[in-house]
Amino acid sequence: ILELWLQTHFILNGFAELGDLRPVLFVPFLLMFIVALLANSLLVYVVVSQRSLHQPMSILIAGMACVDLCLPVFFVPKMLLSFLFDWKGISLIGCLVQMHFIHFFGAFQSTILLWMALDRYFAICTPLHYHELMALQRFLKFIVPLVVRNMLLISLFVSLAGKLSFCRNVMNHCFCEHMALVELACGSTAINNHVGLLTVFLIPVFDFLFIAASYILIISTMLRSSSTSVKALHTCITHAMVITVSLAVALIALLSYRIKNELPAAVRVFFSTMYLLFPSCFNPIIYGIRTTEIRQHMLTTLTIMWLYIKPCGLIQLKNTLSIPKRC
């Protein structure tokens, strides 16, 4: 019975080194979760509701916001309950489902950045053919292969992880990360390691190399052009820096479980968590608020919401205090 229980139930014991201070993590992660939900929900609403924003880049930004909105939902609530109430248990099925959706949506963080780089490349390097190239029928040839790639690779390594036999059930992580689960297995896990590494290089690394090549071409084109906009150049450089930092953190998180290193367990868990949660909080700022048209519509929407809520609050307060309302 104990062996069967070890095979089907796991304990997520991330940040155990903090001991009694572990519940303190509830506050910062809750704040980041709320920011991610509110910022990305507002961004999606603004792009969907404003017809003037139904342009390729704005739609891609909204797609990224959808990914950043969905991704934390699959692991942050469970993590918060673990911090606050010490609820650490998870079944094998629940672990595999969580792993699949975390890695699936996480993969699209870099894939959408690739599509955004393509959009900028077509807009700056081939402006006369931009609308033709970005038409949905033409752009599907860039969308479908990458979607199929992500689905196949993620499904493959998750299904392989589900077939393992496990000798231990205490996972030093806050959610079901692929290699954190594989480390608990008995016997050889070479195929899991190889498929995991293949996925790392075929999704985030491949996407980054493609993005880097696109931005090199974009920046070289802008520098050669006499009509180069300083603002456009600054935007491209900013995006390139953000992508580089994001990939560096992602690679540290993904490779720290596959390559022998001296990183403390808490540091590995921190990087693994932040490479998923950090973009969800800051992508709306980098790709949303910094875009003039989106920023203006977001401010307008917030102003309307405030004007709608404020009078209701004043009327309720006046009714509570029995103060006659005035025009």
Has residue 188 been placed in a domain? yes
d(CA 319, CA 151): 56
**Res 3 pLDDT > 90:** no
- What distance lies between CA 87 and its chain's CA centroid? 24
**Res 1 pLDDT > 50:** no
pLDDT at site 169: 84
Has residue 156 been placed in a domain? yes
**Res 324 pLDDT > 50:** no
**Res 132 pLDDT > 50:** yes
Enclosing H/E stretch for 10: strand 9-12
Residue 325 pLDDT grade (very low, low, confident, very high; cuts 50, 70, 90): very low
Has residue 296 been placed in a domain? no
Contact yes or no for 72/274 (Cβ under 8 A):
no
Q: Which residue has the higher pLDDT, 131 or 3?
A: 131
Q: What is the CATH number of the domain that holds 221?
A: 1.20.1070
Residue 8 pLDDT grade (very low, low, confident, very high; cuts 50, 70, 90): confident
What does pLDDT average to over the chain?
A: 83
Has residue 307 been placed in a domain? no
Q: Which residue has the higher pLDDT, 151 or 251?
A: 151
Residue 6 pLDDT grade (very low, low, confident, very high; cuts 50, 70, 90): low
Domain ranges, residue 19 = 1-28+69-266
Beta strands in 189-319 (DSSP E): none
**Res 11 pLDDT > 60:** yes
d(CA 192, CA 156): 9
Has residue 311 been placed in a domain? no
Has residue 62 been placed in a domain? no
Quote the tokens at residue 275: 């490479």
Has residue 24 been placed in a domain? yes
**Res 327 pLDDT > 50:** no
pLDDT at site 317: 42
Which pLDDT tens digit goes with each residue over 192-251?
Answer: 989 988 998 899 889 988 988 988 888 888 777 766 566 666 667 767 777 777 777 777
pLDDT at site 267: 81
Neighbours of 231 (CB within 10 A): 9
Q: Which residue has the higher pLDDT, 95 or 287?
A: 95
pLDDT at site 323: 45
**Where on the phi/psi map is residue 191: left (φ > 0), alpha (ψ -120 to 50), or beta?**
alpha
Enclosing H/E stretch for 91: strand 89-91
Has residue 286 been placed in a domain? no
Residue at 170: amino acid letter: V
Please state the domain count of the chain: 1
